[in-house]
Amino acid sequence: MTIRSCLFSSAAALSLLFSVGQAQAQAPAGPRPPAVFPDARTALTGGLRDAGIAASNLALEYSVAPPPGFFDPDALFAPPTNRAEAEALQARNRASPPRYSALALANSDMAMSNGRLFVGNFHGFNGYDVSRGGAPELVLSVVCPGGQGDVSVHGNLLFMSVEQNRARLDCGVKDAEGEVNAERFRGVRIFDISDLNAPRQVAAVQTCRGSHTHTLLPSASDPNVLYIYNSATSGVRKTDELSICSDGEPGTNAETALYSIDVIKVPLDAPEQAAIVARPRIFADAETGAIAGLWKGGRSGVSSQRTAGTNHCHDITVYPELNLAAGACSGNGILLDISNPEAPKRVSDLFDPDMAYWHSATFNNIGDKIVFTDEWGGGTSPRCRAEDPANWGANLIASVREDRTMEGRNFYKLPGIQMATENCVAHNGTLIPVPGRDLMVQAWYQGGVSIMDFTDPNRPTEIAYFDRGPIDASKMVVGGSWSAYWLNGRIYSSEIARGLDVLKLVPSQYLSAAEIAAAESVMVATINPQTQTRAVWADTPDVATAYLDQLTRASAVNAELATEVRSQIDPWRAGSPDSRGAARLARTLNAESEKATGADQMRMKALAGLFERMAG
C-alpha cells in the first residue's frame, strides 16, 4: 500500500526502482514524483497590504481588509529566525510585554449560506453579504475568543469550534479562576443568526478536548435532526470540570477521552438541547477491538516522516449521498461508513511514511478519489522552500476501490518554491465543479492559492495560482491563505492576517471559458466545505462545450467529430436546437466512446447522454 510513496523516500528509492519500472511498463500513465522549482511567485516583494502579486489564470477581484476589532499590527506573529532578531525582540518585549498570543486575531475557516459568507476567526467570526456579486459587504462582526473559530451554517444556526482554555461560556476572557471552572468553554458553540442585528448564543456543547474542527451531517431520515462530528486535537480537560472526561492511554484507562470523536445531536426545533450522543472508537483494531488500533506514532523508516500517532481526527469530511466520511486523523487517513450517523464504522485506513500529519480530506465528485493533505509542521513554518522534500507537507491523492479500501496514488505539492519568510504547507480547499474533471482549489498559507487537476490521480498538475509576497520581506510573519474555497462561482480565500480575497477564474489553455461557465453555473444554497454534496449540471451549451474542449485538449476526438459537435452546439446556443441532429450525434458519440478509455470515455458518454436528452 505504501510502495508508491516509498518510491519517493530517498532511502528506499534504489531498492524499489526495479518494481516501479515494471509498474510503469504496464501502465503508461504511472506515478511520477512531484516537481517543485522557482517560478514567478518565488521571489515576490513583501508587505502587509502592498506585497507583490503573481497570478496565473486567476484574477484578484476584491481584497477586503480585516474588519474593525479584528486587526492590530501587534497581533502579527513573527518568530525570529536568528540570534540578532531574537535578542532585539527580547529587548523590545522587556520594555513592553507582548499583548497577544500567537494567532489571536487570525482568520480561519469559512461557510456560505443564502448569499452570506461567514469567515471564522480565532477571535469570533464575521459575516459578509456576497449575494449581489460585487464586493463582499460586511454585515456582522461577532467577538467570541477561543480559537480556532471554524464555522458551519445550517438554516438559522451557526456553529463554531472552540478549543482554547481561555475561552469562556459568555464569550469573554476575564475573571475565570481555578483549575476547574464552570465558566470555561471548550467545544461547539451554536448561535442563532436569524436576525443579523441580534445574534444570540443558544447553546454551547462542552467536549473533553474542545473542538478544533467540526463537520455537519444532516439526518437523512429526520429533517429536525442535525448531527455534528467533532474533531478535537488538544488536551483532555479535568474530570471535575466535565464529568465525562478522563485522560490517559487505553492500557491504563479504557474510558479515556482520547481515541474517539464526538457525535453531537442537534434537535433543530430546540437547539439548546444539543448534546453528545456517542463517542465512537473509530480507531479500534478491527480484530482485537483494542482502542488504539492505528498508527502509534513515530517514523516507519530511517528517512520517513515522523508521523503523529492516531488518537484523534483533525478533520472529517462527510459525503452523505455516499454514506461515507473521510477522516484525516493525525497518523492515518480513514474511511467511515456513516449509514448510521450515530455509529460511524471504519471500513478502511491508510498510512504513508511521507505523511507527518493527516490534516484534511476532500472527495472528488464521483467519490472514487480522496485528496488528503499533510500539514507537516503545523502551518506556522516555511515548508515549501527548495530544500523541503516535494512529497512532504503535500497532498496525497488516494483512490477508493469498489470494496472501499484506499490506495495512495501520488503526491501534489505547491510547485512554485517559496521563501523562508513564508509559512507554507498544504491546507484547506474544495472542488471546482467543472464537469468531466477533478479540480481542487486549495490554500497553501503564504504559498498562496493553487488549483490542482487530479483527474489522473497518478499525475496531478497545477492549472492556476495566485500568490502574494511575504507579509514582511525581512522576517517570517505568520499569514497567508487558511482556506480557499470555490463558493458559487468565485474563489474566496480567508487570509490569516490580510482579510478576505475574492478570485475569479480566467480562461487559459488549461481551462476554457466554457468549462469556467459550467462551473460558475452550479449554485448551492448552503455550502459547508466539510459536508460534500454532489455537483450536478443542467444540460446547457456551456456544459456540452466544456466536454468538447476537454476531448479536444486530450486529442481524444478527431477534427471531423469535433466540428460536428460544435455544429450542434452553435444553433442550440442561438436558441434553435436541432433534435434530430442531436439524436444522430449521440449515437456517433456512444459508438466512439467504446474506443476511448478513462476520463475521455466518461466525457464522451456524458456528452452523448446530453445530446440524447436534448433529442427528447
Partner 1 sequence: MFPVSGILIAAALSSILSQQSAPIFQPGAPGAPARVITQAEAVDLGRTTFIPADVAFMQHMIVHHGQAVEMVDLLQTRAANETVRRLGQRIASSQAAEIDLMRDWLNTRGQPLEMPGMAGMHAGHDMGDHALMAGMLTPNQMAGLAAATGPAFDRLFLEGMIRHHQGALDMVDELNANPDAAEDPMLSDFATSVVADQSAEILRMQSILSEL
Q: Which one among 10, 26, 197, 221 touches partner 1, defined by CB under 8 A?
A: 197
577 sits near partner 1 (criterion: CB under 8 A): no
Distance separating alpha carbons of residues 266 and 217, to the nearest angstrom:
10
Cell of 536: 450536478
Distance separating alpha carbons of residues 138 and 143, to the nearest angstrom:
14
Query: Measured from the CB of residue 54, what is the shortest distance to partner 1 in angstroms?
Result: 6
Which secondary structure element, helix H or strand E, spans residue 317, and what is its range? strand 315-319
Short-list 362, 352, 348, 357, CA closest to 330? 357
Query: Measured from the CB of residue 599, what is the shortest distance to partner 1 in angstroms?
Result: 18
Q: Which one among 15, 19, 101, 114 touches partner 1, defined by CB under 8 A?
A: 101
Query: Measured from the CB of residue 212, what is the shortest distance to partner 1 in angstroms?
Result: 10
- In three-state secondary structure terms, 167 is coil
Contact (CB, 8 A) for 477 and 497: yes
By CB under 8 A, what part of segment 270-289 binds partner 1? 272
- What single DSSP character describes residue 522? -
Short-list 544, 361, 374, 540, CA closest to 440? 361
170 sits near partner 1 (criterion: CB under 8 A): yes
Q: Which one among 351, 358, 411, 466 touches partner 1, defined by CB under 8 A?
A: 466
Short-list 300, 294, 299, CA closest to 330? 294
Query: Measured from the CB of residue 462, what is the shortest distance to partner 1 in angstroms?
Result: 6
Contact (CB, 8 A) for 285 and 337: no
When the beta carbons of 140 and 343 are compared against partner 1, the nearer one is 140
582 sits near partner 1 (criterion: CB under 8 A): no
Contact (CB, 8 A) for 247 and 240: no
Choices 73-81, 386-394, 569-577, 586-594; region in contact with partner 1 by CB under 8 A: 73-81
The DSSP bridge partners found for residue 363 are: 370
Query: Measured from the CB of residue 5, what is the shortest distance to partner 1 in angstroms?
Result: 20
599 sits near partner 1 (criterion: CB under 8 A): no
Short-list 204, 265, 258, 206, CA closest to 233? 258
Contact (CB, 8 A) for 313 and 231: yes
Choices 162-170, 314-322, 366-374, 554-562; region in contact with partner 1 by CB under 8 A: 162-170
In single-letter form, the type of residue at position 91 comes to A
When the beta carbons of 168 and 605 are compared against partner 1, the nearer one is 168
- What single DSSP character describes residue 386? T
Q: Which one among 20, 23, 166, 577 touches partner 1, defined by CB under 8 A?
A: 166
When the beta carbons of 204 and 361 are compared against partner 1, the nearer one is 204
Q: How far is CA 437 from CA 41, 133, 402, 551, 608, in A?
A: 26, 26, 20, 11, 17
Query: Measured from the CB of residue 135, what is the shortest distance to partner 1 in angstroms?
Result: 6
70 sits near partner 1 (criterion: CB under 8 A): yes
Contact (CB, 8 A) for 537 and 435: yes
When the beta carbons of 306 and 595 are compared against partner 1, the nearer one is 306
When the beta carbons of 292 and 596 are compared against partner 1, the nearer one is 292
Q: Where are the alpha helices (DSSP H) in 411-558?
A: 513-520, 541-553
55 sits near partner 1 (criterion: CB under 8 A): yes
Cell of 207: 467536549
By CB under 8 A, what part of segment 467-486 binds partner 1? none
When the beta carbons of 55 and 406 are compared against partner 1, the nearer one is 55
When the beta carbons of 4 and 123 are compared against partner 1, the nearer one is 123
- x-or-dash pattern for partner 1, window 336-365, by CB under 8 A? ------------------------------
